[in-house]
Chains A and B, each alone.
Chain A
Amino acid sequence: MITQVVEQPGADPAGHPASVLPAAHRPCGASTSQLRLQRLALLALSAAILIVFCIISLLVGARPVAFSTAFDALFAYDPVSAEHIVIRDYRLPRTLLGLLCGAAFGVSGALIQVATRNPLADPGILGVNAGAAFFVTLAVGLFGFHAVSSHLWFAFLGAITVTLLVYAVGSRGRDGATPVRLVLSGVALSAVLGGIGSSITLLDPVAFDSLRLWSIGSLAGRNIDVVVTVAPFIIFGLVLSVCIAPSLNVVALGDDPSRALGANLVRTRILVVIAVTLLAGAATAAAGPIGFVGLMVPHVVRWLTGPDQRRIIPFTILCSPILLLAADITGRLVLFPGELEAGIVTAFIGAPVLVALARRTRASGI
């Protein structure tokens, strides 16, 4: 049908031969398969770097451990060896948590950026952090739970509750939950909760102290139970994110074009909110509100992959834990034998990177 069109005189001043279709097809096909190969190589490289960082994360710390010892600790565990205990009880959960939370923060950032069409959005604008922090404040300030382990469920519950509330407020009215409404209601609710939270912690020095520790964000001191608790939520969230990537590609073209292409905007947005809540909620609950990972990694990834969510999300899953583990490892080294929390290190790395991104002539938008 279209070949007819092309062959008509006047429609093709460049004078392409009648066989324009296969000719046009060939170079396009060749370059895409080449690109695909390139991307696979890049994906493999990211995976390799991630594995290296996982290994370093097991070996480095106040008590450095040899590679062979770490290997034995994992596969031939000796319960009386102090080094084996360090690996099994401290470094392994910490590394696994870095993997899970890194991927969760990164992907939730990628999702929220494309769904709000705002390249500088992070999951915080949906009220995830504010909700988690507020519920932890209530737990500590009003109910006297001071153990870090009890914060997990309060933080998760808070993240989910407040995100749902933000969605409920933002989706009232004719157009439903448009990006702008979601952001506005997220920012508004975060501000209110932040205010109430501050007044509680300012009146209660004990609560202030334990909240201060939580709000920095760190992978340290979490045992394997924390990992096991959050893993199902994060894994489900990651799978969901990969599944909605094709729809997100279309949604990025604007409301009218995406609906004209048959995308279900409302369903896609609801799935994004669910995925972000699970990912950012679980990760924030486990590690505290670690910023910048969700903001920065999708940015850098878009740089490598272009604006295709079907590539951005898998790359973000691999690259975000690299950043978080690197930050955590750096934190263990800079104050050796003491430690700097990962949340502080990511902020130190994040701020200059953010400035650099903002100064780039062509910021990688959505």
Chain B
Amino acid sequence: MTGGHDSAKGKLEAQGVTLRYDARTIAENLSVVIPDGSFTVIVGPNACGKSTLLRALSRLLVPSAGQVILDGKAIAGYPSKQVARTVGLLPQTSIAPDGITVADLVSRGRYPHQSFFRQWSQEDEVAVASAMAATQTTELSNRPVDELSGGQRQRVWVAMVLAQQTPILLLDEPTTFLDIAHQIELLNLCQDLNAAGRTIVAVLHDLNHACRYATNIIAMKDGTVIAEGPPAAIMTEKLVEDVFGLRCMIIEDPVSGTPLIVPKSGK
């Protein structure tokens, strides 16, 4: 697994993008490469443009300057279903239609593989079954989504994105509403998926999770990338202070050997 720097090859990258919501500029001239096969975690304080970057990488937000490149071509030039077969996104908020069952919801992840003349196929069936198996939602398949717990529901949404069978997976704060056990469970799943060959990009708030699971960290502040690289190489007390304004101590995680950030008391 490469935890590459600038030299790493990436199918997906942003080249000098300027990201705006109406008049509000989130990031200017931002360039980011997602190394192939990496588990990249984007960290940074609130409103630093992490989610916005993820939206741009999944062509949900069109940059007002610069471009996002997928497989050597501008992402805007692809048919939208073709992008959806390559890049999957788990957004922060999704709506589960009332009364929809788990199996039905996961099946909707097959949309980019279907067309008017090619509706449900054996391939879709297999993709849905294996996505549910990987997220341990198979037993829930006939349950209505709105009756599930928060942790189960998030696993179902992940299953839907997995059913999309994309080589690249973008996750926007996938652990935010989960308790600690479910957070770890979800991150373990991401790690497994990454080990199985998928490129994962996740926005996470917890630096210790980022350090433990990421092969590549992108630390952002005010719409710019402050540091980028494997956790052990870039995660320093100075970086945490620069990016988050938090004084801390960094020790070795006794379980994984990765950097462990311990905030210092007071200012």
A residues lining the B interface (CB < 8 Å): 1-6, 8, 10-14, 16, 20-21, 24-25, 27-29, 31-32, 117, 119, 174, 243, 246, 249-250, 252-254, 256-257, 259-264, 302, 306-308, 362-366
| Chain B residue with the shortest CB-CB distance to A249 | B108
**A-side contacts of B101, CB under 8 Å:** 306
Interface residue from A24, A263, A307 paired with B97 (Cβ < 8 Å)? A307
What chain A residues lie within 8 Å of B232 (beta carbons)?
A: none
Asked if A256 meets B136 with Cβ closer than 8 Å, knowing A174-B22, A308-B104, the reply is: no
B94 and A5 form a contact (CB under 8 A): no
Does chain A have a CB within 8 A of B188? yes
- A-B contacts, 8 of them at CB < 8 A, read A2-B134, A10-B188, A246-B111, A250-B111, A254-B95, A262-B79, A264-B80, A306-B104
Given A14-B136, A21-B133, A31-B142, A260–B98 Cβ distance below 8 Å? no
Q: How far is the CB of A283 from chain B (nearest CB, A)?
A: 26
B136, A12: Cβ atoms under 8 Å? yes
For residue A181, give the distance in angstroms from its CB to the closest CB of chain B.
Answer: 15
Q: Chain A residues near B16: list those with CB within 8 A.
A: none
| Any A CB within 8 A of the CB of B196 | yes
B89 to chain A, nearest CB (A): 4
**Leading 9 A-B pairs by shortest Cβ distance:** A262-B84, A365-B98, A307-B97, A262-B81, A260-B89, A256-B91, A262-B112, A25-B129, A5-B192
Is there a chain A Cβ closer than 8 Å to B40's Cβ?
no
When C-beta atoms are compared, the residue in chain B nearest to A26 turns out to be B129
Q: Is the CB of B85 within 8 A of A262?
A: yes
Measured CB to CB, the nearest residue on chain A to B114 is A246
Which B residues, 104 to 146, have Cβ-Cβ distances below 8 Å to chain A? 104, 108-109, 111-112, 114, 116, 119, 125-126, 128-134, 136, 138-139, 141-142
Q: Say yes or no for B100: interface residue by CB 8 A criterion.
A: yes
* Given the contacts A250-B111, A260-B84, A261-B111, A29 and B91 also touching, CB distance less than 8 Å: no
Residue of B nearest to A20 (CB): B133
Pairwise interchain contact A5-B196, C-beta atoms closer than 8 A: yes
Given contacts A5-B193, A24-B129, A366-B98, contact A259 B134 (CB under 8 A): no
Complex contact A252–B95 (CB within 8 A)? yes
Which residues of chain B are within 8 angstroms of A364 by Cβ–Cβ distance?
Answer: 98-99
- CB interface residues, B 54-70, toward A, < 8 Å: 55, 58-60
Contact (Cβ within 8 A) B58 A117 = no
| Cα-based distance from A365 to B94 in the complex (angstroms) | 15
Nearest CB of A to B24, in Å: 12
Chain B residue with Cβ nearest A264: B80
Given the complex of chains A and B, what is the CA–CA distance between A108 and B128 in angstroms?
31
Q: Is B95 a contact of A262 with CB atoms below 8 Å? A: no
Interface string of B184-201 (1 = CB under 8 A from A): 000011001101111000
Contact partner, B188, options A11, A302, A306, Cβ 8 Å: A11
Q: Pick the contact of A257 from B94, B133, B139 — CB < 8 Å? A: B94
Residue in contact with A263 in the complex, picked from B99, B100, B111, CB distance below 8 Å: B111
Q: Is the CB of B111 within 8 A of A249?
A: yes
Q: Are B83 and A363 closer than 8 Å at their CB atoms?
A: no
Could you tell me if A306 and B100 are in contact, using CB atoms closer than 8 angstroms?
yes
Smallest Cβ distance from A180 to chain B, in angstroms? 14
> Judging by beta carbons under 8 Å apart, are B97 and A253 in contact?
yes
Query: How far, in Å, is B97 (CB) from chain A's closest CB?
Result: 4
Question: Closest residue to B89 on the A side, CB-wise?
Answer: A260
A330 to B43, CA, bound (A): 66
With A1-B197, A10-B188, A117-B95 known to touch, is A21 a contact of B126 (CB < 8 Å)? yes
Query: A253 and B99: CB pair below 8 A?
Result: no
Q: Which residue of A lies closest to B127 (CB)?
A: A2
Closest-CB distance, B244 to chain A (whole angstroms): 27
- CB within 8 A of A1: which of B80, B88, B99, B196? B196
In the complex, chain A residues whose CB is within 8 Å of the CB of B109: 261
Instruction: Please name all residues of chain A whose beta carbon is closer than 8 Å to the beta carbon of B7 when the two chains form the complex.
Output: none
Q: A63 vs B131: C-alpha distance in the bound complex, in angstroms? A: 63
A167 to chain B: closest CB distance in Å?
22
B108 touches A250 (CB 8 A): yes
Query: Which residue on chain B has the smallest CB distance to residue A254?
Result: B95
- Identify which of B81, B94, B114, B162 gathers the most chain A CB atoms within 10 Å of its CB: B94
Instruction: Give the CA-CA distance A20 to B129 in the complex, in Å.
Output: 9
Q: Which of B84, B91, B94, B129 contacts A28 (CB 8 A)?
A: B129
In whole Å, how far is A20's beta carbon from the nearest beta carbon of chain B? 5
Assess whether A262 is in contact with B83, with CB atoms less than 8 Å apart. yes
